Structure formats: C-alpha cells, structure tokens
Amino acid sequence: MNRLIVVSNRVAMIKRTRTGSEGGLAVAVMAAMRERGGLWFGWSGQVFDQEPGAPDVFDHGSVTYALVNLTQQDYEQYYTGYANRTLWPLFHYRLDLTEFARPYFIGYQRVNSLFASKLLPLLEPDDLIWVHDYHLIPVADHLRTAGCRQRIGFFLHIPWPSLDIFLALPNHREIVRALCAYDLVGFQTETDLRHFFEYIELEVGGNVHGDGRVEAFGRELRAGTFPISIDTRNVAEFAEKATSTAQYERLTESLGGRELMIGVDRLDYSKGLIQRMEAVEQLLQSYPGNRDQVITLQIAPQSRSDVPEYMDIRERLDSVVGRVNGTYADFDWMPIRYLTKGFSRRTLAGFFRASRVGLVTPLRDGMNLVAKEYIAAQDPKNPGVLVLSRFAGAAEELIEAIMVNPHDIEGMADAMQTALHMPLKERRRRWSAMFDWLCEHDIVAWQKSFLDVLTAECESRIPKPRRAATK
C-alpha cells in the first residue's frame, strides 16, 4: 500500500484517544494515515526572522510530522495577504473585500515553492500525495518542475467561484494552470465542479469529458465532487454521553424551560452572522409569542484577528447583538447569548442536542460541518430542526433541512418560527433521513472515496453522491 503524504497549511497534532476536539480534516487524515502510514507536512505556525532551514521531522504515534517555519514577510504576503485577503474573500464572492496586490501573489508563489523544496527530499517513489486547500494550490506545479512524478491529489475545502467572479482575479490563469498539475482535483459540490469546468471550457478552451477527465494546459487530470463529512456515529456518541456532563446540565438548567436555538461559527464575514442576528430580531418582532420563550446561543470564536475585515465584523456583530438584547431583554431573560470563546467538539455535541433549532446560515460556505454535526448530535426520540443556508455546500446533501436565503431577513425569521413549532412526527422524519445519509457518507467514506480514485490512477469513473428527497 502506498505511503500517504498529506500537505496542508497547518498541521494538527492528533492524540490517540478520541476527545471530540479534532476537526473534520484532522479526523479524516488520521483515519487514512492509520490505515496506510504516512507523513503530514505543513507550516509549524511559527514565524522567525531567519530563512527556514530543514523541516522539523518527528514521529507521533503512527504518523511522521514535518514542520516548516515561515519568515515574517512570508507570513504577511502568503498567509495574511494572498491566502486570506485575496483568495478567501474572492472564493466566497466578496469582491468588495478582495485585495489585489502583486507582492501578495509573489509571496504566495514563494512559500508554495518553499513547501515543495522542503517536501521533495522526504518523498519516496511510490508515495501518494494529498494536498489540501486554497493556501497550497501551486504546490504540485512546483513539485512537477522539480521532477516529482508521484501521484498528487488536491482537495478544495472552500467554494470554487462562478466564472465571472473568478475572472476578477488578476492571476486566475496561473492559478488554474497550477491546479492542472494535479492528477485528481476534488471539490465539495456539483456547483463548484461546474464552475471549474466552465472555466476550463470557456476561458482556457480545454476539454471536459463526461467521466471527469479534463484536458488543459497540456495535461490530463480528473476532477470530481467529494463532499467532506464527519465521524457521524462518534458525534452521536459524544452527544448522548454529554447529557450527563456538568456543562450540559448548566446549559439546560439556565434555559428555565425555554427553547434554544444555536449557531456555532468561526467569526468570519462569510458566515452571515449579522444577517442571522437581524433575523432573530425580526423573529421577536414578527412573532412576539417567542419573547421570553426562546433563547439564541451564538458561539463565534475569533479568528484572523490581525486582518482588518475581521475586526470590523466583530464590531458590527457586537452592535447588532447589543441592539437586540437592549430592545427585548428583561430582568430574567436575554434573547441572545453571544460567546467569542471556543468549546471542544464533545461539549458542542451536547449543546447541539439541547437545542430545538440549529442555525447554519452562511452567505457562502464550502461545506459547513456544523450542519452535519448538529444532525448527528440530535436525540432520535425528540430531534431538533436544522435551518440551513442554500449557499452552504451541505445544502446539496441535507435536503430535509429548512432551506433559507441568508440575505432574506424576514424569510429566515419565518423559517425559525416554522422550526420552533414543527410537530414531532415531522421533525423525526426529516432528522432520520439526514442521519441515515450521514452514517453512510461519513468522514471515513470521504477520505476513502478520494484516495481510492487517486490510488487507482484516476482510471475509474468518479462516483457522485446524490440525494433524493424522502416522501
């Protein structure tokens, strides 16, 4: 069996015991590595003045880790700059927040070249290389230039934008040319894949075949959809056990018999948090019977706090939450509880189980695993209801959720009201269909489906998971 080489911007150290705090990518990577053995390569998270030397290579359990440092200039141009001020907002359809600066792109290419040069000496001839996410699109191109002939796959965790949005990127052709250096490119949704195919055909003049083969820039590769998932049964187990924890008991006792709606998101402008809180405000205005009866818990840990756009979203969110609570709160009830600290996935699973409504309403999202975790955490006898943005990748799978347009504040308020008052029989029907799908299409199935295609040298037709609505 081929040794697996995983390349990602950051490297997660995974404990051998399941604590429930691991992210989806970390769980999937570890499942694959425990089966195959392998090496996980990426940035250490450390920034130094001097140029990085050889990677820090060490073993932890069954996995070998190789960590590379960055200089301050690398960090500012590659990570803060091109990755998070150019690609991230543009891929999430926020051209108004996208910065096009040539030094950013130069730094992005420099760090990707650095990663390739530091990884190359660690490779063996039969290795299978799996590169993750938008930070590292050019890695394969730099590896190929250096003579790497191993199979290399790439998975994009965020959306791939429509043609008109993507063409706004000054270096769009270089980005896609680099992407075509991979043997297999995976996207979250059929929408993302269609956008990529449109670029290949309409902008490059390449060929797209029905089996997922792409011919462009003098190369042939495969592209397909591989929607990432969760460790479904593990989350369900966490949630059931969490009902006996102190955190769960504190939360449920504090509700005083009221219904709970919950949102858990990284503090980011793509998550639609302002619109969500405005919808809660509209709910209380349009349906006053919910006053003193419903509590919304919004957990939004801070991220990328050194990027100005993230400081702005925090100030705006603080303002709208303060306005809603100032208008509607009473001495013994506050409509919105807003927390900027994080919790372990085990604790969150218990919070999800205690909630009548899960609010997942991003303006744009590659997948959004919170939606899947919410479903997995529910009590089968008395499940809650998922309110889901149609612009989240999860909407292509969790079709029994109540779908909303996050730009429609009144529509979201109506959906919250419907979810809060949905009969038990209907809640069970919707939940059961989504839970069964997630059990079959879990995190292990995700990594296996991608690596099976890559291992088979991309010769087989790429499977396309599809949902059919239940009656």
**SS3 call for 297:** strand
111 close to 86: Cβ distance less than 8 angstroms: no
- Which is nearest to 429 in space by CA: 402, 389, 466? 402
DSSP-assigned beta bridge partners for residue 339 = 299
239 close to 350: Cβ distance less than 8 angstroms: yes
Is residue 253 exposed (0-12), middle (13-18) or buried (19+ Cβ within 10 Å)?
exposed
Residue 105 C-alpha from the chain's centroid: 23
122 DSSP assignment: G
Active site residue 231: no
Q: Considering Cα of 367, then 371, then 377, then 383, what sign does the dihedral take?
A: negative
**Cα–Cα distance between 69 and 261 in angstroms, integer?**
41
**Cα–Cα distance between 256 and 458 in angstroms, integer?**
56
Active site residue 157: yes
Which structure tokens are listed for 378? 């529910």
**Cα–Cα distance between 166 and 172 in angstroms, integer?**
7
Determine which one of 133, 183, 365, 442 is catalytic. Answer: 365
Interior/surface letters 90-103, b for 16+ CB within 10 angstroms, e for the rest: bbbbbeebbeeeee
Determine which one of 135, 142, 157, 195 is catalytic. Answer: 157
159 close to 364: Cβ distance less than 8 angstroms: yes
**SS3 call for 330:** strand
Task: Please enumerate in sequence order all residues whose Cβ is within 8 A of that of 291, keeping only pairs 6 or more positions apart, or say none.
Answer: 284, 328, 333, 335
**Cα–Cα distance between 106 and 77 in angstroms, integer?**
8
**SS3 call for 104:** helix
**SS3 call for 25:** helix
Positions annotated as catalytic residues are: 157, 365
